[in-house]
Structure 1
Amino acid sequence: MSNWIDDETVEFELNDRQADFIEAITYDLNAKGVKTAGIVGGIGSGKSFIMAFAMLCSKEDLPKAKGQFACNTVKQFKRSIFPGVKSVWREHFNMTPYDFSTGEGDYCLWKEPPANWDRPWQEPDDWENCISFPNGWVMEVCGYKLNADLHRGRNDDFAFMDEALLFKREWLKILEGRLRANVGKFHSNWHHLFCFFSSPSYGSGGDWMYEVEKLMATEVGRYYFTTITTRDNILFLPPNFIENLKKKLLKIEYAVEVEGKRISRLPNCYYPAFDYERHTDIDEEEIYNPAEGIVTVVDFNARFTSCTNWQNTPHSPLHRCAFDSFVKEPDNDKTMAQTLAIKLREELENRGHKKRQIIITGDRNGNNKSAGSVKKSDGTWETFFEQFGEEFSTHGWDTIIAPIHYNPPKDEIYTLMSDMLSENSEVTPVVLRFSKAHARSTTTSIQMTPITGDYRKDKGSESKPGVAQENATHLSDTVDYYAVYISKPHLAYASSGFDIDFM
């Protein structure tokens, strides 16, 4: 495909779905007023490329236009989204940011552009979050999570969005109402266009995206929606890319991310109230605080020992799973418990953890003498919990060992977790949030845990060949133990250390 970019003809290729998307916007979305075009794609589908190219198409067709890139937070865009866009612009279109010292570059980032560049019809008052081009096209990054109402006064010519599955429906109403600027100044289908891109959803999050597909059938010229799969982009991927994904991903992950299967709710799941989008809806900067103590919940196993690490500011209902950790084999002359404890302590210290206080809880079986226990010089046996805690106490941490001394029946756990995750129970007014980046194994474990007919966990994945144990049910067990720990503190007992109220 050839495209005219800044007086140069640039040659590049699109896959069929990408080409259809651009063609539909350019020629078919000709209704007056707000128009919507969306594309949902999984791993390696080329979604990020077509988003970056669509921005350039908008720029070429709408000189002196000003619009927005809608996202959760501005920080999220600058750290996670724009580096990919910037890479596409550089690698495929030879475009670089403007350098004020040399006067060279194709677009200006996060400051007012040079005086000789055109300005949009409605110039922004603050350029701090703007991307601008010499022809006056300006895109301002708008974060909706902290205060969506701040954007009600905007007048925009266009709007872009990535990871639309995380964008709330109530924010959408605000965004679409802003597409009202410069009526009659442009004669292009890219004007007053809301253009969204997204990864596929594992649950109900972003269900509004698929409503656009239904509207496309009845309101021709106003809506366009398509999906793009890994196979659609296979000519642009390395050999064996799909085969390697099939080996590494869980069956359901492969179905959703590679084949494009839609799942509104995970079938036969032990945690039906878990919603990935809602329960990971927290900024990474907020989920971990090095000045707070840690509650570590451990699941001991001879072949896979794991833990989740939690924080809770006093008097707050919010409990944050900051990260998970696990080991699959012991270090030399160490037990699995000791190996994981060493790994966790080093990780916390590498993170610059300041408040060296830790509560260690989890499965009561870790407090029993077993084949993995260590016999001390005085003839007594050191349990897994004691081994784990000793690694911290000997390195100057205030340590409490508080294992669950009674494991409630699994049907009680099922009810407890349903109450907590649904967030509408007066009995357990708790809000659980998980780090997207650092607790992904835990959320995958939760999503992939089946239920039996009598409301028990199907733990077959822990012994099934070929299943990565970090995606089996082990880590979800630690979430259960944490739920018991915070809701039924009488079931946990502490030994030595300090006052347990630091959380």
Structure 2
Amino acid sequence: MKVGAIFNDFPRATFVIAGLTYVQLDSIVVPSLRDALEKMGYYEYDPKVCPWGVYVIGKVPPERWARPYKRPGKKVMQYCMTFINGLTIRFVSQDNPDSHRGLSIEGILIDESATISYEFVKRVLIPALRGNVMAPYHGHPWQFGFFDFSSASWTTEGNWIYDTEEKYKKMLEERSKMTKEQLKAIPPEFLFLESTYHDNQKYLPADYGKMLQDTLDPLEFEVEVLNKRLVQIPNAYYHGFSTTRHSYKISYDYRPNDKGVITWSSNDYDRDKPLELSLDFNTDICWLLVCQELGREFRVVNSMYKKPHGTKEQQESNILIQLADWFCETYQSHEKKDVFIYGDPGGNSTSATTSADNLPFFDQFCNKLKSKGFNIFRRELVSYPKHKDKFILVNYLLGESNERAPKIRMNMINNKAFMIALQNTKVKTDKTFKKDKSSEKSARQREYATDGTDAFDYIIWAKYKNLMPREGWQSTGVITISR
């Protein structure tokens, strides 16, 4: 709706809509924009189907349309939304920052700003707010405006979105002391609004809130639906983990193809090196982590889980084979077909879900990958490490105090459920150093329980147990929900 209002008031202006990746902007933001504009009576132009349309996306507009003050080059038109009055919306992604330097814009809109790095906002977007002071809309309260929209942040890095709240509160306090003349002469500068589905209830089913509460895990419901802020939980098992330090977002390369169209591909792992997989097995959920050592980093590139479906027919393809199918389909173009398999020592048993030939879990999974052309090297554990040793090692590596040890990094885009599980996992307080596994019985959304973190422990122990620190090492940390 904001873009529709900008269309009316800012002819020939240039605004930016920023997102984490072009993939996100294209698959989520653009469809939502089309839908919102259609509700306002603004349609996408098509010379045959909709000649009365007022905007185009990703193409050069008709010659008779007005042009923006700052005309984009032909190479970036595929990332532009152009209106009949010359208003141009530039789609800008954080994972390709160098292509956006030198912009001159009238305003910024950010989708899911809690996922965006403030460094990107500060160094790339804010300096571009220089616009056109000679334009007829100069002086409009939205000129040089910064508008961001987001769910509550799942990470401490994303908590910068709440800076506006503090500025808004300070502004209100200052304005409460102003005279009427001062209030009229000095317009407000900040606005911070929070809402939940309650504020939109008249447009939703009467039982919408109950439906979400019955479906979602309590933590997910509180953060995603009720906008509760994730701060810290007591007794965190992975107390050395920090989303700011251990996660990354750059995940795509953008290159022109032979037709000049920009295409994208993942750049956070090496296609010419083997992949390392770690598995955790359970009748209710199976987890797979896709990892790779890249330079001095150990990267969790991707992760996936599968849960059993309700019908017998659906369960005929058991969840372990579904995981194998997902991996083969996702990484079929990976050049190096060598795959190292790590995981649960219990994976050589046969009791999870259904298996027509009753093969051990590792055999089922590996046979599927072999049938798709992958070369398998099995490295699964044959016994479980001691709880204290496992706890110390993983947090020692997360603490990054050993220069010889690799730095653990995780793709934030691909590993949301896994990273939430890491942050939610507690250690028991009985000095046994065991994980509190109660979430595996109580969680409505099993993917946020501790299962996926076990797959992480297995590969960390198998690869780096020789880096165990000497006695005396310690670290502390907690994670909680803001009330």
Q: Tell me the TM-score normalized by structure 2.
A: 0.76
Partner of 2:378: 401
SS in 1 for 2:157: coil
Alignment of 1:402-441 (within 5 A): 402-421=379-398, 425-434=402-411, 436=413, 439-441=415-417
Q: 1:178 to 1:305 in 2, by over 3 A?
A: closer
TM alignment of 1:39-438, pairs within 5 A: 53-90=1-38, 92-101=39-48, 103-126=51-74, 127-128=76-77, 129-148=79-98, 150-174=99-123, 175-183=125-133, 185=135, 186-219=138-171, 221-275=188-242, 279=247, 281-283=249-251, 285-286=265-266, 293-301=274-282, 303-304=283-284, 306-312=286-292, 315=295, 317-328=297-308, 339-351=318-330, 353-354=332-333, 356-367=337-348, 384-393=361-370, 397-421=374-398, 425-434=402-411, 436=413
Amino acid at match of 1:168: S
Q: 1:488 & 1:382 partners in 2: Cα distance?
A: 29
Does the 8 Å contact 2:281/2:352 carry over to 1?
A: no
Letter in 1 for 2:14: K
One-letter code aligned to 1:322: N
1:459 and 2:440 are equivalent in the alignment:
no
Deviations 1:201-253 (A, max 9, x none): 12312222111111113346211111111211111112311111101111111
Structure 1 residue 372, shift from structure 2 partner: 7.7
CA distance in structure 1 between the partners assigned to 2:371 and 2:19 by the alignment? 45
1:412-444 CA distances to partner (integer Å, 9 max, x unpaired)? 33343334445675243233324645x444334
Cα distance between partner residues in 1 of 2:248 and 2:295 = 21
3-state secondary structure, aligned to 1:325 = strand
Alignment of 1:10-21 (within 5 A): none
Greater alpha carbon shift after TM alignment, 155-164 vs 65-74:
65-74
Contact 2:298 2:406 in 1 (8 A): no
For structure 2, the residue ranges without an aligned partner over 5 or more in a row are 176-187, 253-264, 469-483
1:449 is aligned to 425
CA offsets per residue over residues 58-88 of structure 1, 9 Å max, x none? 2212222112222333343122322111122
Partners of 1:331 and 1:423 lie apart in 2 by: 46
Structure 2 CA distance for partners of 1:188 and 1:393, relative to 1, 3 Å: closer
Q: CA deviation at 1:490?
A: 10
Amino acid at match of 2:395: S
* RMSD of equivalent CA atoms: 3.6
What is the total number of aligned residue pairs between the two structures? 426
Shift of 1:165: 0.9
Deviation sequence 1:435-456 (CA, Å, 0-9, x none): 645x444334323222222343
The residue type equivalent to 2:438 in the other structure is G
Q: Give me the whole-angstrom Cα distance separating, in 1, the residues matched to 2:276 and 2:422.
A: 19
The Cα offsets for residues 157-216 of structure 1, whole Å up to 9 and x where unpaired, read as: 111111111222222223222212222532311111111111111231222211111111
SS state at 1:431 partner? strand
Change (3 A) 1:247 1:280: farther
SS of corresponding position for 1:87: helix
Change (3 A) 1:423 1:190: farther
Opposite residue 102 of structure 2, the aligned amino acid is: G
For residue 437 of structure 2, what is the amino acid of its counterpart? K
> SS where residue 228 of structure 1 aligns?
coil
**In structure 1, what is the Cα distance between the partners aligned to 2:467 and 2:227?**
46
CA contact (8 A) 1:269 1:448 kept: yes
Q: Which stretch has the larger CA shift, 351-360 or 455-464?
A: 351-360
Unpaired segments of 5 or more residues in structure 1? 1-52, 492-503
Structure-2 change in CA distance of 1:240 and 1:283 (3 Å) = farther
CA distance in 2 between counterparts of 1:118 and 1:179 reads: 22
Deviations 1:252-297 (A, max 9, x none): 1111122221122344332234455763624374257877644332
Distance 1:173 1:288, change over 3 A: closer
Distance 1:388 1:340 in 2: 10
User: Of 435, 445, 452, which residue of structure 2 is paired with 1:475?
Assistant: 452
Q: Is the CA contact (8 Å cut-off) linking 1:110 and 1:130 kept in structure 2?
A: yes
**Aligned in 2, Cα 1:415/1:295: closer, same or farther, shift over 3 Å?**
same
SS in 1 for 2:209: helix
Contact 1:65/1:157 (8 A) holds in 2? yes
Partner of 1:20: none
Shift of 1:314: 5.7
Q: Which amino acid aligns with 2:421?
A: S
